[in-house]
Structure 1
């Protein structure tokens, strides 16, 4: 008898497998890591076979001692914006060019010249950028034409695993939207974009709705994959959309922020309006509703950088005194008042997507004085990420101001001081639930459950949430950040030319 729902997230650094019971209880969870290959300054690739090996290893481990036939269904989420060329047998022709890769700058510029920024944005909901799929396909057409010719389908991480399991080459609207070749209002591949790119739409997969049965685990791969032959496989969503579903952001006005390696603010809206300056992204959600949001490249990554480079003392304390280095870092930051003594951190360690769309942007500490403290520098890092996310939030409010609170997910959600900084910068309550760390996994599992009739619709996710904390904004801190916010925003523009000149070195 079926008892379990199995979800996988093919992330940038690891595959995360989570086994749920039907009532949303996490029975087991496991990570299996794999490398990213960085080179040529801003190139980044991964071997898709590493994803598959991690997926299989996780299944064997997580189902040890259990009957794999008791898995009712499996669904997947994963990193988005990749470019993985596959042949008809679902074998990778070359490594996947992943989301952080910025090599296709000339192709992004060429695409914008052919379609024009506003027209492109009104079709896709995101402005042209080297980080997205169709621009990377254009790069392959120019630099590796043999690869392009051999390609049967260009796929995303989760859909590669789904195709390997079932033989079905499909994707969903969320991953399609982040290829930069999807018409979000027509909910189909865009003839205009494919014509401008010079690419063949036949090399992209069919688009199906999340929760759709795409096939069953084939006997030929079942043993290797650690799954029972015939296990239903449901189409999933990209990692960002999985978190949105899992955290329960489903209705107009619902909003959340994610503090992972990249960080974002997103909400559901019934307003079809667009940002006239094309700074954030818009995508199709359900018929009549849309997702507004913006993703910055180095949110949690900036804090991880801070820990590794500025917090050796806290790392040693964690080794000798127990706990996490972040416990000690948070205490240090709490000792420093809002505003970090006038020290500002620009969190542009990997260039920037929203709201700047500038691969040449760079990080910086500003306002340092002889009396500046390390605590101020640490706090400035969290504040810099938060103020950048505030820009995105303000743009969304300009389209429709319907958000009254903000849910939070991701590793950074564990930090009470960071939740307070966000509440103060956003001037909005920050709500943490018991699902904050597992939102993506839960969202994907719910899709698996919908596929086989365990759940009726996405609203089933609400039954699994319990509010753990609500962080209210502090009036005095809100006023302080309102003073700092325009200075933070102006600092990027003051340094833009200098940073581009540094990049040329």
Structure 2
């Protein structure tokens, strides 16, 4: 038997899936790690924890291979994008991993956005101006943490750091590079004006390679830990969002993929870069010949988790006693409330927001609360708010690339029948849920298969996705959602003027130590 491993170095965990060459899952493992947060907007991780998660994951799934009769053809990588590590001249970390969710570069982002350079930078790089980008993070280090900036000889993201540690390679795939805000997506090279703004040069950044780039020769200390032979081929891969589209077969024209995990996104694929004149959506590479256009949101399943932990703590405990998934129990509660939550709206901006408003200071809110509303109403409003927000991203995407012919839904939320139906009702079109397991890992494996010649084209992923289930929109809910969504959008615009004010207040007082007598 021949095998391939798809490995996803994600925001909250690293997953490794062992597939046969027909895309069948043979084994799976997931290793979680802590996301370090505080009131300043910090969202960091320890590089060594993630390196250990990668080696542990490889060891686990490689352990299923019988080396006497089986062969591991390749290991291919997916990773979260827009993470930053500053390194010294010896490639030793000067920072932890500053993740995409870190908002401390908000002031730097606003400064660029309000300058003459902001829109031009976006139009060359395809990355909206936001604290998530490496461009803004490096500017923040330069202006606010000069002791790190002045010592930094190199910069990279988590995948590049892990591969450097394992192999000594210093390279970044075009997919991750295109998410940095410093890579010209039309010239396929680091953007000189973006680098000049940060004060760094391209020698401080990894060499950019395509997704199919192969390498081997894992360092001996890690071959001993993982059990991986040194001659196994490794493939660079791409960033997780692009590979998720590939992993559910959403790479044809007119096919949109909606993903809600911890965060969320809507993405479509094109054979050429596409830029939004209003700067609301991104354009990132999958490979040098395929481009992913879409919008990410910060607030997906993490908002549902917040509602569970803060509004339904007792029910969570009950679910534990019944050995029942707490999310399943709560969706049953939310399903008892009519569509539209009897006029209760929720803006899910608990972690700022990316698309389509790109405002790190955005804050969450309930609107329309009355004495008749219950916790169940609030829970359904939370779920609907997440979907409303994704729908506003779809509206922006439609302006730029046209209406999708079909929509595929993936991620943890896709397990919920209520959410699938809600998505179809708000979007007013059928939503198809593929059976594909860990779509980013499968996407990475498919890239690996093409790299080593097992398949001829990425479109052969259609043979690996498995069964699908389609949900049709319920016409009885159209009038409700058609009336509420415009109110939701108008409120977002009206509240925007106060997001900065309340964020400043929170930053001012949240870190104060309580007075003691």
TM-score tier (shorter) = over 0.9
Pairs within 5 Å for 1:298-313: 298-313=299-314
Report the more deviating stretch, 114-123 or 146-155: 146-155
The residue that corresponds to 1:476 in the other structure is: 476
> Normalising by structure 1, what TM-score?
0.94
> Any idea what the Cα deviations from partners look like across 1:427-474, whole Å, max 9, x if unmatched?
121111110x41111011112222222222212211012333101111
> Any idea what the Cα deviations from partners look like across 1:18-70, whole Å, max 9, x if unmatched?
11111111111111122122124201211111111111122222333534683
> Normalising by structure 2, what TM-score?
0.92
The residue that corresponds to 1:372 in the other structure is: 373
Q: Quote the offset at 1:117 in angstroms.
A: 2.6
The residue that corresponds to 1:359 in the other structure is: 360
Any conservation in 2 of the 1:268–1:292 contact (CA below 8 Å)?
Answer: yes
CA 1:133/1:225 → structure 2, altered by over 3 Å: closer, same or farther?
A: farther
The residue that corresponds to 2:4 in the other structure is: 5
Q: Output the CA distance in 2 between the equivalents of 1:296 and 1:90.
A: 32
Partner secondary structure for residue 484 of structure 1: helix
> Any idea what the Cα deviations from partners look like across 1:391-410, whole Å, max 9, x if unmatched?
11011111232412211111
The residue that corresponds to 1:263 in the other structure is: 264
Report the more deviating stretch, 88-97 or 372-381: 88-97
Partner secondary structure for residue 77 of structure 1: strand
CA 1:400/1:61 → structure 2, altered by over 3 Å: closer, same or farther?
A: closer
CA 1:490/1:235 → structure 2, altered by over 3 Å: closer, same or farther?
A: same
Any conservation in 1 of the 2:174–2:288 contact (CA below 8 Å)?
Answer: no
Pairs within 5 Å for 1:137-156: 137-156=138-157
The residue that corresponds to 2:442 in the other structure is: 442
CA 1:199/1:504 → structure 2, altered by over 3 Å: closer, same or farther?
A: same
> Any idea what the Cα deviations from partners look like across 1:473-495, whole Å, max 9, x if unmatched?
11221232111111001112232
Q: Quote the offset at 1:149 in angstroms.
A: 4.7
The residue that corresponds to 1:292 in the other structure is: 293
Q: Output the CA distance in 2 between the equivalents of 1:419 and 1:113.
A: 39
Ranges in structure 2 where 5+ consecutive residues have no aligned partner = 506-517
> Any idea what the Cα deviations from partners look like across 1:164-205, whole Å, max 9, x if unmatched?
222211111221111110111222211121112222121111
Pairs within 5 Å for 1:104-503: 104-112=105-113, 116-269=117-270, 273-285=274-286, 289-435=290-436, 437-503=437-503
1:46 aligns with 2:45: yes
CA RMSD between the two structures: 2.1
Any conservation in 2 of the 1:162–1:233 contact (CA below 8 Å)?
Answer: no
Ranges in structure 1 where 5+ consecutive residues have no aligned partner = none
Partner secondary structure for residue 82 of structure 1: coil
The residue that corresponds to 2:511 in the other structure is: none
CA 1:53/1:273 → structure 2, altered by over 3 Å: closer, same or farther?
A: closer
Q: Output the CA distance in 2 between the equivalents of 1:415 and 1:48.
A: 33
Partner secondary structure for residue 348 of structure 1: coil
Any conservation in 2 of the 1:111–1:197 contact (CA below 8 Å)?
Answer: no
CA 1:148/1:231 → structure 2, altered by over 3 Å: closer, same or farther?
A: farther
Q: Output the CA distance in 1 between the equivalents of 2:478 and 2:51.
A: 47
CA 1:40/1:342 → structure 2, altered by over 3 Å: closer, same or farther?
A: closer
Any conservation in 2 of the 1:256–1:408 contact (CA below 8 Å)?
Answer: yes
> Any idea what the Cα deviations from partners look like across 1:331-360, whole Å, max 9, x if unmatched?
122222111100001000011111111111
Any conservation in 1 of the 2:421–2:473 contact (CA below 8 Å)?
Answer: yes
Q: Output the CA distance in 2 between the equivalents of 1:245 and 1:79.
A: 15
Pairs within 5 Å for 1:83-94: 83-87=84-88, 90-94=91-95
The residue that corresponds to 1:32 in the other structure is: 31
Partner secondary structure for residue 293 of structure 1: strand
CA 1:367/1:258 → structure 2, altered by over 3 Å: closer, same or farther?
A: same
Partner secondary structure for residue 235 of structure 2: strand
Q: Output the CA distance in 1 between the equivalents of 2:35 and 2:374.
A: 35
CA 1:320/1:106 → structure 2, altered by over 3 Å: closer, same or farther?
A: closer
Pairs within 5 Å for 1:53-64: 53-64=52-63
CA 1:219/1:270 → structure 2, altered by over 3 Å: closer, same or farther?
A: closer
Q: Output the CA distance in 2 between the equivalents of 1:231 and 1:150.
A: 36
Report the more deviating stretch, 47-56 or 222-231: 222-231
Q: Output the CA distance in 1 between the equivalents of 2:115 and 2:317.
A: 54
